[in-house]
Homo-oligomer: A and B are copies of this chain.
Amino acid sequence: MKKDSKPPSIDDVARLAGVSISTVSRVVNRNVPVSAEIVTRVESAMRELNYVPRQAARNLATRRTHTIGVLLSDMLGDFFQPLLTGIETVARASGFEILISLTGVVRPQDQRLRPFGLHNTDGLLIFAGSLTPAGIEQAHASGLPLVLIHQSPPTGLDVPCVTVENKAASRKIVEHLIVTHQRRRIVLLRGPADNEDAHWREMGYREALAAHNLELDPRLMGVGDFEREVARATIEKMLASDTSFDAVFTGDDEAAVGVMLALEARGVKVPEEISVVGFDDQRLAEILHPPLTTVRAPTEQVGQEAARQLIKLIRTGSADPLTLLPTELVFRRSCGCRV
């Protein structure tokens, strides 16, 4: 059908419409008044040629890419989808595209691979764990607009952050175990050591115990790492030891899966013998047996808000230093409630 010649450029359109390329550019961008008659002529020429402006040329001329880079680690589990959906929705509505890079396990900045920077994005969304603090500082030093997700900036660095409220919700869900279900020996499965969500969740746990004069027993604190198998192994070990417990705050829902599997394998009844509660309210929470009582983290909203802040930063030069999204308890049956 089509001739296989090269795609039409702005010159072709200008020639066909009998105007200058400046004028074509103006009708494409609609940023300057152009007479109605000429607009019509240019538009029909564009249609006839099936003209689409080359992004690279616009980028070069404007020094803008209209692209947001998203840096993610691999280990996001169910975060991935809602987070990206949120980012994409907002970005697209504002005329930005998103370039995604999975950094995998954080690695020392590999100079040869610079996936993102001023050269190909207008700004970056950096998810917790995808970049080292040094990497963040370096990106920031280059003048690239940055927004951090679920991670606060390295000390002294003025980089906006959007995350969720962890501590109060964690305290509340643990207090629910204590007050409503009379649990006294509550296991905490810690998240990854350098993870801020994990840190605040542990603080919430500690506050809850302290508020009810429960002793903080180190034997009740194990590793969960937000991972199913790690959590499973920890609980198996505890069950095999002589440490008794009557509840588990798993740190996140993914770890809750491992806990449930370990308990089930041992024939321990949840919640009759042991209550289990998680954090995140991932899609799997409601299909566990019993359905998981947890804290809902608004991950899609986090994505939206992060994109919104970054675009604001790109456009105006400033954004809100901290956006803390609210979380809420979701009561299902694993804590002992009947719903």
Contact = CB atoms under 8 A, between A and B. Distances in A.
Interface string A261-286: 10000000000000000000001100
Nearest to A60: B56
A81 B89 CA distance: 18
Interface stretch (A110-118, A164-172, A219-227): A110-118
A57 B4 CA distance: 25
A97 B88 contact: no
Given A85-B74, A85-B102, A120 B55 contact: yes
Contacts of A67: 99
Interface stretch (A46-54, A123-131, A146-154, A202-210): A46-54
Contacts of A218: none
Contacts of A57: 56, 60
A326 interface: no
A338 interface: no
A35 B290 CA distance: 69
Given A2-B143, A52-B118, A81-B80, A100 B102 contact: no
Contacts of A84: 80, 100, 102
A54 B74 CA distance: 27
A26 interface: no
B141 A1 contact: yes
Interface in A61-88: 65, 67, 74, 76-77, 80-81, 84-85, 88
Measured as residues with beta carbon below 8 angstroms from the partner, the interface class of chain A is 35 or more
A339 interface: no
Nearest to A64: B56
A81 B4 CA distance: 37
A292 to B, nearest CB: 11
B97 A120 contact: yes
A321 interface: no
A101 interface: yes
A314 interface: no
A77 B85 CA distance: 12
A60 B54 contact: yes
A119 interface: yes
Interface of A: 1-2, 4, 7, 50, 52-57, 59-60, 65, 67, 74, 76-77, 80-81, 84-85, 88-89, 92, 97-102, 113-115, 117-120, 141-143, 257, 260-261, 283-284, 287-289
Given A55-B65, A56-B65, A289-B289, 10 more contacts: A7-B143, A74-B85, A80-B80, A84-B102, A85-B102, A88-B100, A88-B101, A260-B287, A283-B284, A284-B284
28 contacts: A1-B141, A2-B141, A2-B142, A4-B143, A52-B118, A53-B119, A54-B60, A55-B56, A55-B59, A56-B56, A56-B59, A56-B65, A56-B120, A59-B59, A60-B60, A84-B100, A84-B102, A85-B102, A92-B101, A97-B101, A97-B115, A98-B100, A98-B101, A99-B99, A260-B287, A261-B287, A283-B284, A287-B288
